[in-house]
């Protein structure tokens, strides 16, 4: 059955199929998708590093939180004393007493503040590393959000394109004789990379094998012009 027109339709069908495949594939292997995937890995790694660092610095963070709590409570006490001191019902000895208490509270506050500062200095290197990591994590997070939006848009576009191509393919296939449909499906099922292609001088367009003139003759005489090496349809 040498009907070049129909056989060349196989090439077109294959092109359509390839277009659909490429679109579907780009949803999981597109440049931005791959970038997104590697950024997600990066994000996870940084999160883990930060968690690790936090664990190592846990004593520092506990002490810091504890001191800060104490400072807040002491500051409240100072406020209460200041309120009392601003009233006019205190006698001089009470005033002196409250003033002394206030001074002593201030000294305690300073002591706790100093402790935190000293601890910060002791753990300075590690805290800086962690701070940098947290900044990087924030950067990655923002990039991830932006890239996710871009990828989602790309996917939406692809999802709109695929049904059109599928429809075009179905309509196109419906013009094919059954046996050509079957041939195409069978070769595709077998995983043939190039199902149909034009001959390149003496080369099979599908597998690239150099064909002798008698082989070419044989192919042209065969029912579907199939290459004896790869089974692809040579046009
Ligand atoms: Zn071949």
- Cα of 222 vs centre of ligand 1, distance in Å, is 14
- Radius of gyration of the chain measured on its C-alpha atoms: 38
Residue 4 has pLDDT above 70, yes or no: no
Nearest alpha-carbon partner for 185 in 222, 5, 24, 176: 176
pLDDT single digits (tens) 12-25:
999 999 999 999 99
104-118: average pLDDT: 97
pLDDT tens digits, 150-206: 999 999 999 999 999 999 999 999 999 999 999 999 999 999 999 999 999 999 999
Contact between 232 and 207 (Cβ < 8 Å) = yes
Query: What local confidence, expressed as pLDDT, does residue 134 receive?
Result: 94
Interval between CA 204 and ligand 1 midpoint (Å):
5
Is a pLDDT exceeding 70 seen at residue 57?
yes
Q: Considering the chain, what percentage of its residues have pLDDT values greater than 90?
A: 93
Average pLDDT over residues 7-12: 92
Strand partners, 200: 203
Domain ranges within the chain, ordered by starting residue: 177-235
How remote is the CA of residue 159 from the centroid of ligand 1, in Å?
Answer: 34
199 C-alpha vs ligand 1 centroid, how far in Å? 9
Closest listed residue to residue 223, CA positions, set 6, 11, 72, 71:
6
Q: What's the CA-to-centroid distance between 220 and ligand 1, angstroms?
A: 13
Q: Nearest 5°: phi and psi at 25?
A: -65, -35
The first and second tokens of residue 85, run together, are: 């001191």
- Categorize the per-residue pLDDT at 3 as very low, low, confident or very high, splitting at 50, 70 and 90: low
With bands split at pLDDT 50, 70 and 90, how would you rate the model's confidence at 1?
very low
- Over the chain, what is the mean pLDDT? 94
DSSP-H helix ranges across the chain: 4-29, 31-56, 58-86, 92-122, 124-173, 178-189, 213-221
Q: Around ion ligand 1, which residues have CB less than 5 A away?
A: 204, 206-207, 227, 229-230, 232
């Amino acid at each position: 059955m040498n009907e070049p027109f129909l056989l060349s339709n196989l090439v077109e069908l294959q092109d359509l199929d390839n277009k659909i495949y490429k679109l579907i594939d780009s949803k999981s292997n597109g440049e931005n998708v791959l970038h997104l995937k590697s950024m997600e890995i990066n994000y996870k790694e940084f999160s883990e590093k930060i968690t690790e660092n936090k664990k190592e610095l846990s004593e520092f963070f506990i002490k810091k939180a504890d001191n800060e709590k104490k400072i807040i409570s002491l500051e409240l006490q100072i406020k209460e004393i200041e309120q009392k001191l601003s009233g006019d019902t205190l006698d001089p000895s009470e005033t002196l007493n409250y003033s002394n208490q206030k001074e002593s509270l201030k000294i305690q506050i300073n002591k706790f503040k100093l402790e935190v500062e000293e601890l910060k200095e002791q753990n300075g290197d590690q805290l800086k590393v962690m701070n940098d990591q947290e900044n990087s994590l924030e950067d990655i997070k923002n990039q991830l959000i932006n890239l996710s939006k871009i990828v989602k848009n790309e996917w939406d576009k692809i999802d709109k394109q695929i049904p059109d191509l599928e429809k075009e393919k179905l309509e196109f296939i419906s013009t094919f004789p059954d046996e050509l449909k079957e041939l195409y499906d069978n070769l595709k099922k077998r995983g043939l990379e190039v199902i149909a292609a034009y001959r390149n001088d003496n080369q099979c367009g599908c597998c690239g094998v150099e064909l002798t003139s008698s082989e070419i003759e044989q192919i042209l005489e065969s029912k579907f012009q199939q290459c004896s090496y790869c089974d692809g349809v040579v046009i």
